[in-house]
């Protein structure tokens, strides 16, 4: 499809000098990468004499411009819900040449091309311990999977910037905590949708991670890109700074340290955090002070994106970073270069987690559109048991995608992760949230709502109930099973709360770092009062 030409008539009283300079000149002027199309200006020849000036109209023609390879003649990117590949590059989804994203076999079925688990015939002491102590706790038959597939309640434009992390309260089933790019901490009671509050005086910029201490559920610890670790009381909003890596303020990007990875070892009473220079820091939770020196656990100058302790072995630590590695560490010998095992990846590793029940499996999310699974940390770790192709290769103006385990699944097979490439659902371009069985690579379910037109990179499954929390731009949505809660929805007064600027007159735009089209989700209620959520403990049992 060729673009139409636009003819602009020139003024007859134009100066002689300008007309003579533009004589027989054809100008191809490429605009910046931020524009969708290049404009090529072609000035037809204009003849002039000493006494008379003859002018010709200017013809402007638009040519196709590829934003991937920066060449003319073709386009690449989204056209509606369809992603168009650049012919000069391999398939965007599976990174393999020979086909496009539209015809990629992994788009139809994620289990296509999954690398099977190698046969482990070794008989060593670790395999014996695993078979005797851990395997009996893993059920042989998979239980029935319950998928939260309907939006039960939501807060539209809850945060002023995009959501970066979510965490459920460890004892109160209906309290959800959220962090955003501005460093704000939100506390929301999603059973009483109006009972919500946002603490904005804790961090100066991105709140990258939050964790609870099992011994004290009234406080939450956070790691921020301002280089601080905070301990916040959820009732009062008062915060205590446990560490500040930039006490002298901004001294330039080469010295500014940002904290990303964070995890708590309750048995040892320590908190670990990692920065964007590959270093690990330790805080004693009993004295709320940093202890020891920093340890280089990843390549110097690379970001450590995640930390995770083993659920049963407090001495095992899993880390991942921008140096394309996930590493297993022994806390009893935590030194630079002393990792137990290094798990290589092709690109940046966004997250790495032990399985929640036994801790014998490892799940990683990498920027090369791959979910990698190791079935046993006691077996052969040279290669992953499975590589599952999934669309999450994008983090510009988005929180990085991270695949999360379902903590209620005893078979340790179900994970949830948002999808980047949109799908055409009844004419609308939607980005579903995928539930994947990592034992086979099969897509179990893809949940979406026609009113959620933005991407949902942050997803968290409830540890005790069939609830999914998703962060899409600056909004938060709670998903529940449709059949189970259909009767409740009929009697609810209002389940959608609208905050901030939204509502009428909003123009539909592509999601960006600070703006989104969340106002497409309409609010049915009248009152927008905000109440502080109650943090009283409730029952842990699943309904």
pLDDT tens for the 543 residues of the chain, in order: 444 555 555 554 444 444 444 444 443 444 344 444 444 334 444 444 444 455 677 776 667 778 778 788 777 877 767 777 888 888 888 888 878 787 788 876 566 556 554 444 445 566 656 666 666 666 666 677 889 999 999 999 999 999 999 999 999 999 999 999 999 999 999 998 888 899 988 999 999 999 998 888 899 999 999 999 999 999 888 999 999 999 998 888 889 999 999 999 988 999 999 999 999 999 999 888 888 899 999 999 999 999 999 999 989 999 999 999 999 999 999 999 899 999 999 999 999 999 999 999 999 999 999 999 999 898 889 999 999 999 998 867 899 999 999 999 988 999 999 999 888 887 788 999 999 999 888 899 999 999 898 999 999 999 999 999 999 999 999 999 987 655 555 544 457 888 765 444 334 444 444 444 333 343 333 333 445 665 554 434 333
**Dist CA 34 CA 67 (whole Å):** 9
Backbone torsions φ then ψ of 225, nearest 5 degrees: -75, -5
Both tokens assigned to 531: 């109440």
- CA 462 to centroid of chain Cα atoms: 18
CB 305 within 8 A of CB 351: yes
Q: Which residues pair with 472 in a beta bridge?
A: 475
CB atoms within 10 A of CB 216: 13
Phi and psi at 337, nearest 5°, equal 80, 10
What are the DSSP calls for 171-235, one per residue?
S-TTEEEEEETT--EEEEETTSTTBEEEE-SS-SS-EEEEEEETTEEEEEEEEETTSEEEEEETT
Strands 150-156 and 496-498: parallel
User: Quick one: residue 361, left, alpha or beta (phi over 0 = left, psi -120 to 50 = alpha)?
Assistant: beta
Residue 428 to residue 433: CA distance in whole angstroms: 15
Q: d(Cα 302, Cα 311) in Å, to the nearest integer?
A: 27
Assessment of whether the complete model's pTM goes beyond 0.85: no
Q: Are 217 and 169 in contact (CB under 8 A)?
A: yes
Map residue 282 onto helix, strand or coil: strand
Looking at 38-135, list the stretches that DSSP marks H as alpha helix, in order from N- to C-terminal side: 105-108, 125-129
What is the C-alpha to C-alpha distance for residues 205 and 182, in angstroms, rounded to an integer?
5
Phi-psi label, residue 441: left if phi above 0, alpha if psi -120 to 50, beta otherwise: left
The pLDDT, as a whole number, for residue 522 is: 38
Residue 419's closest CA among 397, 396, 393, 440?
393
Length of the chain: 543
Question: Residue 516 has what pLDDT?
Answer: 41
Report the distance separating Cα 425 and Cα 432, nearest Å: 10
């Amino acid at each position: 499809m060729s673009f139409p030409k636009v003819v602009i008539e020139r003024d007859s009283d134009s100066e002689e000098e300008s007309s003579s300079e533009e004589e027989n000149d054809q100008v191809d002027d490429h605009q910046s990468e931020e524009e969708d199309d290049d404009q090529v200006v072609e000035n037809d020849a204009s003849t002039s004499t000493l006494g008379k000036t003859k002018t010709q109209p200017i013809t402007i023609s638009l040519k196709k411009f590829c934003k991937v390879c920066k060449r003319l003649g073709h386009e690449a990117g989204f056209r509606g819900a369809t992603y168009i590949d650049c012919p000069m590059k391999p398939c965007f989804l599976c990174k393999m040449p020979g086909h496009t994203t539209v015809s990629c076999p992994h788009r139809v079925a994620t289990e296509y091309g999954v690398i099977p688990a190698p046969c482990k015939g070794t008989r060593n002491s670790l395999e014996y311990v695993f078979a005797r102590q851990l395997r009996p706790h893993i059920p042989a038959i998979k239980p029935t999977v319950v998928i939260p597939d309907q939006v039960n309640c939501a807060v539209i434009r809850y945060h002023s910037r995009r959501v970066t992390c979510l965490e459920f309260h460890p004892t109160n089933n209906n309290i959800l905590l959220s962090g955003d790019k501005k460093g704000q901490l939100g506390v929301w009671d999603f059973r009483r949708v109006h009972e919500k509050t946002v603490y904005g005086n804790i961090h100066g910029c991105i709140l990258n991670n939050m964790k609870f201490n099992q011994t004290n559920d009234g406080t939450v610890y956070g790691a921020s890109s301002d280089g601080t670790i905070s301990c916040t009381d959820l009732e009062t909003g008062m915060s205590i700074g446990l560490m500040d890596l930039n006490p002298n303020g901004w001294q330039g990007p080469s010295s500014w340290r940002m904290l990303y990875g964070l995890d708590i070892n309750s048995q040892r009473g320590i908190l670990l955090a990692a920065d964007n220079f590959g270093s690990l820091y330790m805080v004693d939770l009993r004295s709320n002070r940093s202890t020891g020196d920093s340890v280089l656990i990843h390549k110097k100058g690379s970001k450590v994106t995640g930390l995770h302790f083993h659920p049963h072995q407090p001495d095992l630590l899993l880390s991942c970073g921008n140096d394309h590695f996930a590493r297993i560490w022994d806390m009893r010998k935590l030194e630079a270069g002393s990792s137990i095992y290094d798990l290589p990846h092709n690109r940046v590793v966004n997250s790495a987690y032990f399985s929640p029940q036994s801790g014998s499996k490892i799940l990683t999310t990498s920027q090369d559109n791959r979910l990698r699974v190791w079935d046993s940390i006691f077996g052969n770790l040279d290669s992953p048991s499975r590589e599952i192709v999934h669309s999450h290769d994008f983090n510009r103006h988005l929180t990085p995608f991270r695949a999360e385990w379902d903590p209620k699944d005893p078979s340790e097979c179900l994970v949830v992760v948002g999808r980047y490439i949109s799908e055409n659902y009844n004419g609308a371009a939607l980005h579903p949230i995928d539930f994947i069985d990592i034992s086979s690579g099969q897509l179990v379910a893809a949940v979406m709502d026609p009113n959620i037109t933005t991407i949902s990179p942050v997803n968290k499954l409830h540890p005790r109930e069939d609830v999914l929390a998703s962060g899409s731009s600056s909004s938060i949505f709670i998903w529940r099973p449709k059949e189970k809660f259909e009767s409740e929805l009929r009697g609810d007064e209002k389940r959608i709360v609208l905050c901030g600027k939204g509502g009428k007159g909003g123009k539909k735009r592509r999601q960006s770092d600070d703006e989104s089209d969340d106002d497409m989700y309409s609010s049915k209620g009248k009152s927008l009062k905000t109440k502080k959520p109650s943090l009283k403990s409730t029952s842990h049992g699943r309904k």
